Structure 1
């Protein structure tokens, strides 16, 4: 490891200059925290981070997650020094179409590992990265997968409860290759942290089974020793508490909370550059700094070459390894999955159908990792857990993730696993707790991640648990998130189809909504479209001869209700199953008009939840049987009668309108 103190200080000064210049040119951004973090972040990149200088996506690279996403100009400056981001991009910070948006975006900028904006989620995702690394290291061998996950976290990060929930799991699972730098500058946007927090972070994290190291975050000797000590600790994740000064290096504003979220003035930048020994010019990057920063590149390239050679050898000589590697590297859309079949006429809750499907794919997908938020029996993940063991507790090759009552951390950890690659993550809980996951689901969509969310107990038919556990607005709410695939299957057979759709996504997260109550397994002989119609989101499940007089649409458990209601009419009735708004809306206009002919204006819909979104299919004046109020604690069949979810009542509402 190199040790040139003068050049290290010069490099850090150049990084701080870039931070000030980038934020000032954009007239927008967060320079203070980026400058307080610059010493340890720069040394991490120049001295410790292993990556391929020629390929930002090398599989065994160390991952760096900027959980304090507002410090993005720091990351972009470092990525410029690595060669991944050009100077023009630095000068276009926060501008339309640039590679340097206000918060890092993984699909946009080379070297960015995660889209981090909402505080705490980068921390949560980093645990998912570390989970994926530990699992793949166990399965593939340390000669193929053996890297660290580094995180830059802030005071605001650790104030978000998601971070502590994820940290608790990281400690329980003994993720020794997870290293978090906590930039403890004791300042946040509105002022000093002592206004809002009295936590002793050392005690908190030590209590969650972490190694905690306290250092001066500007002392390069202490920084290097802390990273070395963290890498030597194999059984615990490490939190390096970097005690720093906000806007360190500025002439007159060190420790000032006003530097957190606003550009420095021109005179302050000029004075600060003079203090740092920088010339007055903007975006100054001298050649000796670049050479110093990249001094390890020859050895890093040699490491990558050796890794590739070893991988080729293993693929050629070890058939079992090659088969597993193929599973791990196959695109999701290319998966070939065999699903169970279900007996027509039987009654089965769709959550139980999910359980049967999960049990059948367990061996087919050896890189499937997931679990439930403390609802294993209810979410039908118990047999999966018993078959594959609990990750961390039963070893790193175990595949059940026992999340406990931590829905939000669960969702973020899933995103981290998906970002890392090589594994297929899923997580399960009750639909009413989707609210706890919601922002991470949004981040799944924003990052184009095929995370799989299993939501059971999808309506008031939860019954006696009452309104706290009976989802009303949740399906509609999740449908509002762009690029999320909503899947609400009508029966057990369609559950398998919906899961096939979800498992084969490359870029879209899926939310699968499943019932607690039993539903009739539809007979494919009578309803042939049920075996594949879900792939287009909406389809005719029961038709009439000629042009229908009435169209009844429904999703999930209400499809059976719609079918029974249709039998009460002597008119020509078409029943349409819209099990996925997203997939149906993505179909060509010609197909949508084929399913819902514009000339048929007599339309009705049924879903045990909010009614508003259904009007885009049935028209402003169409009949929608739904629920726009909270439920009650009572047996589900009694609630059906009270809320009018019976064929007789639904038919009455339609006749009154049409």
Structure 2
């Protein structure tokens, strides 16, 4: 065992060095220091189906230290998931081996990682999903570990500790995290930037902590086994390692972090490791030994499949299994009815919608960043309880004041599969979780971000809580659906859009202040128009003389403004610029006829974005400065968000 383990690790290190050298780009040092642990984990402990990298009850492995990607690719090659040609095409265009792992590209990659700390936080989301589904489906159907490999840089990012605090609180005993403590980062020794005693910190966060020599194979095996036996706390294995372990002359050098090894160093290192001089060498006996477990794992997966089919005879199991596996576009959701003419904040409409559908969507799980009453998730929390605190079938995730961990945990839940995550906070705090939102889009994850208090109408809380640039800024993220509904009717359509997405995340922007509920009898397009992003809400006879475009709370302002003109005015509601821009040109020209150049737009945020629709000479009512602490009505008058002022701006131009 020891001799073959050493030989396998040497082969993995050889692939790391050769892959990085051929690409002339990459990070060999950390990958080599982590190779002992990762190779033992994959070859002796990790449970997966060699014929199906997406088998539902597989152990998940997340490489939070995404820069160590060649380590993961080497192991995935030994798994049979990627070819040697893939290894040789490391970091090349259209390859399955990009610079950092990408979940939608490479079989066996569980999460897109690279932005440090987020892989660790996503791991918590994976474990949340596993714990919930284990309770709902039974431990004979859902029972796997979630492993994560982290670096010094991962744990320096505060998101990791925020997520770790929740993992400890929630008692996620199926997490086994490995911290490769090689004490080197890109700029030099970690002591230049960090003095943290991670053993004390994680013990203080209610974790089970084990410290080992990360190059001692017996200690590594014992630590993994101890982590598996600890069921009430997540486990952190601190592996004290040497950067670029095994190198001929560069062990411990920070230069190996992000630079390929030179040819002479690679040659000398291969000789030291007992490898032949040839590039990309994988010995047949290594491959045979590594895959010795495969038949047993195949048999286990087959028995699992047979068990699931047998359990389908149970009506309750079949019902939840159907929900867990149902494609999102096939969901049938009965949304509530709203009374036209009444006034309701769109955040309240969201809460009403959530209350209405939460029983029929048992896979809907989520919560608020300590803003439950404000985000209208309190009734969801009261009804279903706090996850872990009230049992693992409780569906409210009490994230606390942790927006960034919240967003990354949602990504992990979605990546695991089987659940529909949502998270809520104030729009101005979307900045805290922006990079995780970007990672939602990059990973093609249909998570739902609920952002309330979407404009200066927040009022008395003042400029710290009044978003100005946030909606426009989030619209810049590719493949993120922006949803800013005009009223309760549009809110439920926007939520239906978000819930039925397959690949794109959605951010819904909701008001604190009440808005008039539109009457579908007067405005029939409100019932389906939002699905196209922008639509004609109120039209005129023939070709309009003027087009007013608005989103969210400013749609009612546009309708009132239109009444102040005697000429023909069309009012366009645009809850989603992303969805509107994706429509065929014929439809966009139908809504915004090119020959009608007299156009004005209104949104309580940055003006810049709207010139793409009204033209550079068009009129935009917006706000390009910070707000102030005062009642919302006072601020609307001060900033000109009145029908009279909007009409005056338009008359001055047209």
TM-score by length of 1: 0.99
CA distance in 2, matches of 1:425, 1:97: 31
1:407 aligns with 2:417: no
CA distance in 1, matches of 2:528, 2:508: 16
Deviations 1:539-578 (A, max 9, x none): 0000000000000000000000000000000010000001
The equivalent residue for 1:291 is: 288
CA distance in 2, matches of 1:542, 1:405: 42
The equivalent residue for 1:116 is: 113
The equivalent residue for 2:639 is: 643
CA distance in 2, matches of 1:326, 1:580: 31
The equivalent residue for 1:602 is: 598
1:257 aligns with 2:247: no
Structure 2 residue matching 1:401: 3-state secondary structure: coil
Deviations 1:280-300 (A, max 9, x none): 000000110001111111110
- Match for residue 38 of structure 1 among 35, 40, 49: 35
The equivalent residue for 2:184 is: 187
Deviations 1:322-354 (A, max 9, x none): 011001100111100000010001000000000
Structure 1's consecutive aligned runs of 4 or more residues displaced over 3 angstroms after TM superposition are none
Task: Give the Å deviation of 1:623.
Answer: 0.1
Structure 2 residue matching 1:218: 3-state secondary structure: coil
The equivalent residue for 1:531 is: 527
TM-score by length of 2: 1.00
Deviations 1:369-396 (A, max 9, x none): 1000000000000000000010010111
Structure 1 residue matching 2:590: 3-state secondary structure: helix
1:480 aligns with 2:476: yes
The equivalent residue for 2:559 is: 563
Structure 2 residue matching 1:296: 3-state secondary structure: helix
CA distance in 2, matches of 1:94, 1:436: 30
The equivalent residue for 1:328 is: 324
1:354 aligns with 2:350: yes
Task: Give the Å deviation of 1:413.
Answer: 0.2
Structure 1 residue matching 2:366: 3-state secondary structure: strand
The equivalent residue for 2:444 is: 448
- Match for residue 49 of structure 1 among 38, 46, 49: 46
CA distance in 1, matches of 2:489, 2:530: 11
The equivalent residue for 1:339 is: 335
CA distance in 2, matches of 1:295, 1:185: 31
The 5-angstrom pairing of residues 445-594 of structure 1 reads: 445-594=441-590
Structure 2 residue matching 1:295: 3-state secondary structure: helix
CA distance in 2, matches of 1:435, 1:523: 35
How much is the aligned-residue C-alpha RMSD, in angstroms? 0.4
CA distance in 1, matches of 2:234, 2:216: 22
Structure 2 residue matching 1:325: 3-state secondary structure: helix
Task: Give the Å deviation of 1:14.
Answer: 0.4
5+ unaligned residues in a row in structure 1: which ranges?
none
Task: Give the Å deviation of 1:117.
Answer: 1.2
Deviations 1:559-608 (A, max 9, x none): 00000000000010000001100000000000000000000000000000
The equivalent residue for 2:361 is: 365
Deviations 1:494-536 (A, max 9, x none): 1000000000001000000000000000111111111111000
The equivalent residue for 1:385 is: 381
1:308 aligns with 2:297: no
- Match for residue 166 of structure 2 among 143, 158, 169: 169
The 5-angstrom pairing of residues 44-123 of structure 1 reads: 44-123=41-120
Structure 2 residue matching 1:593: 3-state secondary structure: helix
